[in-house]
Amino acid sequence: MTQERKAILTFNDGTPPIELPVLSGTLGPDVIDIRALSKHGFFTYDPGFQSTGSCRSSITYIDGDAGQLFYRGYPIEQLAEHSDFLEVCYLLLYGELPTGPQKFEFDSMVKQHTMVHDQMNRFFTGFRRDAHPMAIMVGVVGALSAFYHDSLDISNPHHREVSAFRLLAKVPTIAAMCHKYNVGEPFMYPQNRLDYVGNFLYMMFATPCGHYEPNPVLARALERIMILHADHEQNASTSTVRLAGSSGSNPFACIASGIACLWGPAHGGANEAVLAMLEEIGDESRIGQYIDRAKRKDDSFRLMGFGHRVYKNMDPRADIMRRTCHEVLDELGLHDDPLFKLALKLEKIALEDDYFIEKKLYPNVDFYSGIVLRAMGIPTNMFTVIFALSRTIGWVAQWHEMIGDPENKIGRPRQLYQGARQRDYVPLDKR
Ligand code: SDX
């Protein structure tokens, strides 16, 4: 019988030591189970959760030093090469790759739910035409809970599954509607003759005036981008979804909270910010001054698309994204795309710079995705929307896992209080 591993917390002021269990997973670092600390009158302090594991999970594994990313044990490189997005959705949700019949049934179920209630169209007219599509997404996805009262009992496994299908199927439809509303074109209804990604491209770019068929090379590239973005362990937006779900909020509200968090430029908004940065740099001759700005403490400028909380080596998704960039630009005859060439040069200079080497700052998934999406004709303000529709399955799978976790409790962190000590009220005429 191997001895249970423990951490002993000792104090230098005579406070009795505290024994804490050390837990091991199948992969990755062990964790110190600190749940008993509050009984001893202590909390831990970890702003940004840099040293905190928030839950047990079996969905996604990341090794930041080795630059590894597995969905249910399958390396992202193999899934990006051989799988399709709905198969990856099945894998993330159910834990295994589907058989042929299982995949056919799953794909068919998704297709049954791609339309949204026709009254949802009216929400859009309440927004300014130039509203950012992420603002619309937060509102309209959250509003789905106003239409599906029949499947909001999260304790009911059937309700959870129906809600998962509805979200997976309807978020691309809503995303495309955001784009159509922005550009003043009519909404295009889903076409069930097309596959998931082809249908999204159809709803984005088709018009009632003519026939539209997705370019197969671009559709495959977008499929790969969506596979790369499908899940990523306990990132900020996934943790937001889990926290919202821990209070019992319905899945539509939880996913809307994830979309809101993803929008930030430090997270999913980075792909849009990378393009704005490249356009601001404009020319290779100006790269040096921006690299210098990124290093300065007194300058808030960050090299967008660089750095990561977990990856202290190359983000494996960035490598695949760079290759996808080459493919798409070659297919479109844009291999001399000035922004792509600028990005390659910026990446080369940064990777050879001592500051970035010392701080282990490498390109992340967002560095190249914006260039690919822009080349495909997707407007910059839709980049994070594409990230959100790809990550919806990750959020749903993580939410689903949390609801089924026997250790699941409402998330309620504490604090280190530094405010005023108790004092008495002073009447206005005495102040
Ligand atoms: C995503 O968590 C996930 O998994 C997210 C994601 C997913 O799939 O869900 O992978 C998607 O969000 C990718 C990240 C996209 N964001 C960006 O590209 C924005 C630019 N990157 C930075 O904002 C930053 O690198 C973060 C937010 C990504 C990570 O921030 P951390 O982990 O809090 O790191 P940090 O800010 O503490 O940085 C450590 C040091 C700091 O210097 P010191 O204070 O130690 O002197 O590195 C510096 C930072 O100033 N640094 C950068 C930098 N990123 C970090 N300096 C210049 N440029 C950068 N991009």
Beta bridge partners of 60: 71
- Is the pLDDT confidence value at 150 over 90? no
What is the reported pLDDT for 335?
80
Residue 102: Cβ within 10 Å count: 14
Q: Measuring CA to CA, which residue among 158, 178, 60, 177 is closest to residue 109?
A: 158
For the cut 80, the answer to whether the pLDDT of residue 347 exceeds it is yes
Residue 199 buriedness (CB in 10 A; 0-12 / 13-18 / 19+): buried
Average pLDDT along the chain = 95
Give the distance from CA 120 to its chain's centroid.
Answer: 25
Mean pLDDT, to the nearest integer, of 344-355?
A: 93
Residue 176: CB within 6 Å of ligand 1? no
Distance 344 CA to ligand 1 centre (A): 20
429 catalytic? Reply is no
| Cα 321 to ligand 1 centre (Å) | 19
334 compared with 140, residue with greater pLDDT: 140
Can you give the pLDDT at residue 98?
98
**How large is the angle between the packed helices 133-143 and 383-403, nearest 10 degrees?**
30
**What integer is the mean pLDDT of 18-45?**
96
Best CA proximity match to 45, nearest among 410, 416, 310, 411 = 416
The contacts of residue 249 (CB under 8 Å, 6+ apart) are 257
Give the span between the Cα atoms of 299 and 39, in whole angstroms.
43
Task: Please give the pLDDT value at position 336.
Answer: 85
Tell me the mean pLDDT in the region 397-410.
94
Query: What pLDDT was estimated at residue 207?
Result: 98
The protein residue whose alpha carbon is closest to atom 37 in ligand 1 is: 309
Q: Which of 84, 308, 315, 319 is catalytic?
A: 308
Position 2 pLDDT exceeds 70: no
Least confident of 49-63, 100-114, 137-151, 165-179: 137-151
Pair of tokens at residue 222: 């977008």
What number is the average pLDDT over the span 264-274? 93
Rounded average pLDDT over 77-91: 98
- Ligand 1 centre to CA of 310 (Å) is 9
Backbone angles phi and psi of 54, in degrees to 5: -95, -15
Mind listing the pLDDT tens digit for each residue in 209-260? 999 999 999 999 999 999 999 999 999 999 999 999 999 999 999 999 999 9
Distance of alpha carbon 20 from alpha carbon 161, whole angstroms:
37
The answer, yes or no, to whether any atom of ligand 1 lies below 6 A from the CB of 303, is yes
Return the amino acid letter for 129: R
Q: Are 39 and 282 in contact (CB under 8 A)?
A: no
- State the distance from the centre of ligand 1 to the C-alpha of 311, rounded, in angstroms: 10
Q: Is the CB of 321 under 6 A from ligand 1?
A: no
Percent residues over pLDDT 70 in the chain: 100
Q: What is the mean pLDDT of residues 4-20?
A: 96
Assigned token pair, 99: 């058989």
Q: In sequence order, which ranges of 113-156 are alpha helices (DSSP H)?
A: 121-125, 133-143
How many CB atoms neighbour CB 317 within 10 A?
28
Region 364-393 average pLDDT:
94
Tens digit of pLDDT for each residue in 182-210? 999 999 999 999 999 999 999 999 999 99
Confidence of residue 173 (pLDDT cuts 50, 70, 90): very high
Residue nearest to atom 18 of ligand 1 (CA): 305
The reported pLDDT for the residue numbered 290 is 95
Q: Cα(14)–Cα(267) distance, rounded to whole angstroms?
A: 44
How does pLDDT run across 278-324, given as a tens digit for each residue?
Answer: 999 999 999 999 999 999 999 999 999 999 999 998 899 999 999 99
Least confident of 125-129, 200-204, 231-235, 330-334: 330-334
Instruction: Please give the Cα distance from 248 to 244 (Å, whole number).
Output: 7
Residue 54 Cα to ligand 1 midpoint, Å, equals 20
Answer whether 50's CB lies under 8 Å from 309's CB: yes
- State residue 1's pLDDT score: 58
Catalytic residue at 195?
Answer: no
Distance, CA of 368 to CA of 228 (rounded, Å)? 12
Q: What pLDDT does residue 361 have?
A: 93
State how far the Cα of 27 lies from the Cα of 79, in Å rounded to an integer: 19
- Of ligand 1's listed atoms, the one at least distance from the Cα of 268 is 12
* Residue 10: per-residue pLDDT: 97
Tell me what percent of the residues of the chain surpass a pLDDT of 90: 91
Mutate to test the pocket of ligand 1, among 359, 384, 393 (most ligand atoms within 8 A of CB): 359
Please compute the mean of the pLDDT values over residues 103-110 and round it to a whole number. Answer: 97
